[in-house]
Structure 1
């Protein structure tokens, strides 16, 4: 008895659903027929206008595609906008024309509702397609400008998937919301799913976003000389997960992008100058008037070798010397040039001091002889001195 009742109820539900659908279809058909009979002139005019609008939209799509093909700069904004326009779909153009026809020719409410819904679907998904093309084109534009094409090639498939998923998920939610569907549960489900995926692949995504940060922020580029912690080297490759650095000792060092960006990085390629300094000590027997001339003497030597003099002065009384320091800058980031100039300056300082009879100090000890009473003795008429 219960089985027969359940079967009967299911049959009745199916009949009611089918009957309701047939009734709605008949109503839509009769309403449309009556509308065509009473507003045929407005419909003809609107169809003509709609056809012109459709042809204009097709012409704009073709113009955008040609603009993208003719532009020699494949990553420029003109090419990006042209490609986006070229992605305009026939469904969107058709629904735009139909929407204008229906709005002008006083269509029945049921027809207007149907057309409005279809136009909303077409417009929302078309906007998602345009946004995807612009975003991906912008990423390519920034990457090519920064010479990170190899990194982009590795990451582009993942980036395209993430951008497409995000945009079309938003488009779907907007369409469902226009159908008066409660999308709260869907949004919450997508959020929970995104969190779960993010936690499961947080290491991969962290390195991916670090690679994108390198691409967009450009703290360094391929070929740049950088230093961090105790590592000095040049960038050989910026990958999707890691960066390869050729150290000055010849070793190849590999570090994850996330760990690299967590460190303080010094980009030596972007230096405006390299700074060098010499500490020079002269013996205590050097006359004060000679010591007073040393800063100007060192300044002249520095400027003679195309370096920028910063400062020079007396720094203190050392254990065996009167200490001076000279600081100078070599313009540009070229380390080899700085190395040569520093060597030349050092040799020139040594030559100048030798020519002027200025003795450069070195560690010494002086031993004095003393008698039984502890007083110094001078058997040779002068203090007995032994240098060691």
Structure 2
């Protein structure tokens, strides 16, 4: 009994629904015919204006496509805007013209509401398409010069995330315009996003670090970098990690977040390399010669077409008079600085040898004393006749000779 009643109620409801749709369609057709007969002149004028708008939008879309198809054109903001305009859909163009016609020609409520709904759907999704193209174009413009082959996976993921976010927002806006309560849907999406973010916290941290590398450009593929206690050349920037070829030939895989948390020295972006030489002279070097040493060092550096910085006396060492010279190599690569240091070192050696200036090396002098505390000389004492005194101790002080009266 109850099953029969339920089935009958369902059938009746379906009949009412189908009848309501049919009645609405019949009323829409009838109102449209009455509207056309009563406002045919206004409708013709509106259709003419709408046709002009359609032609203008189609022309703008063609201009955007031609701008994107121009060869050897840099990805500037003009190209980004042209790409967005070229994505204008035919449905949006038609609904823009229909909305103008319905508004100008005072369409009946049934026709006006239908056109307004379709125009809202077309406008919302068209705005999502434009926003996607502008955002992706801005990202490509920002990352101009990067190795897109290496970062292709990153761009693919960015496109997916941007598309999903924008069209999800567009869908919520359309449902809201239809009168659907989207509060629960928005809350559910928010809770789900938080749960996914907490579950994949490490992955997202490395992903956002990769995006930071793309946008901020602290280094690029091929740059020589130093970080923590390591150095190497960047080979690949991935979504989760960056691969760096070490100076000993090993490949190091470093998580993007860990890499950005450290201080990074981009050696490729150096405008020069500073080299410092420390050298020591023997303590027997005369002060006048020491005063000439800075000028000698400057002459040596400048003759090799290097940038002299400073040179001078820096301290008294344990067995040397310590000097220092600083100069710059005008190139970023380490090999040029290495060769410059080699040439300067040989030139300093040649210059000091020519001037008779001796380099110091660690020395130590040992003194021996006799049992009575007097110092034992390390050589034999010679008398006036040339005979040697085998007593290694120094002779005692002779009394003054007597003076003859």
Please give the TM-score of this superposition, normalised by the length of structure 2: 0.87
Shift of 1:269: 0.8
| Aligned ranges 1:116-131 → 2 under 5 Å | 116-131=116-131
Q: Which deviates more from structure 2 when the two are superposed, residues 319-328 or residues 13-22?
A: 13-22
| 1:11 Cα deviation after fit | 4.5
Residue-by-residue CA offset, 1:270-307 (whole Å, 9 max, x unaligned) = 11111111111112222222222222222222222222
Give the drift of 1:24.
3.2
Q: Distance in 2 between matches of 1:74 and 1:312?
A: 49
Deviation (angstroms), 1:155: 2.5
Query: Which residue does 1:172 correspond to in 2?
Result: 171
Q: How many residues align structurally? A: 382
Higher mean C-alpha deviation, range 345-354 or range 373-382: 373-382
Where 1:85 maps in the other structure, the secondary structure is helix
Unmatched 5+ stretches in structure 1: none
CA offset at residue 74 of structure 1? 6.3
For residue 77 of structure 2, what is the aligned residue in structure 1? 77
After alignment, is 11-20 or 210-219 more displaced? 11-20
- Partner residue in 2 for 1:49: 49
Structure 1 residue 271 corresponds to structure 2 residue 270: yes
Secondary structure at the residue paired with 2:123?
A: helix
Alignment deviations for residues 167-193 of structure 1 (CA, whole Å, 9 cap, x no partner): 101111222222333222111122222
Contact 1:207 1:241 in 2 (8 A): yes
**Within-5 A mapping of 1:119-198:** 119-143=119-143, 145-198=144-197
The residue that corresponds to 2:114 in the other structure is 114
Q: Secondary structure at the match of 1:149?
A: coil
Residue 280 of structure 1 aligns with which residue?
Answer: 279
Counterpart CA distance in 2 for 1:26 and 1:155 is: 53
Within-5 A mapping of 1:162-241: 162-241=161-240
Q: Greater helix share, 1 or 2?
A: 1
How far apart are the structure 2 equivalents of 1:229 and 1:317?
34
Whether contact under 8 Å (1:302, 1:309) holds in the other structure is yes
CA contact (8 A) 1:306 1:330 kept: no
Larger Rg: 1 or 2?
A: 2
Secondary structure of the 2:21 match is: helix
Taking structure 1 as the reference length, the TM-score comes to 0.90
Structure 1 equivalent of residue 367 of structure 2 = 368
SS in 1 for 2:149: helix
Question: 1:114-162: CA deviations, max 9, x gaps?
Answer: 211211110110111112122223333344x223211232233322211
Runs of 5+ unmatched residues, structure 2: 383-391, 393-405
Q: Secondary structure at the match of 2:310?
A: strand
| Cα 1:156/1:334, change in 2 over 3 Å | closer
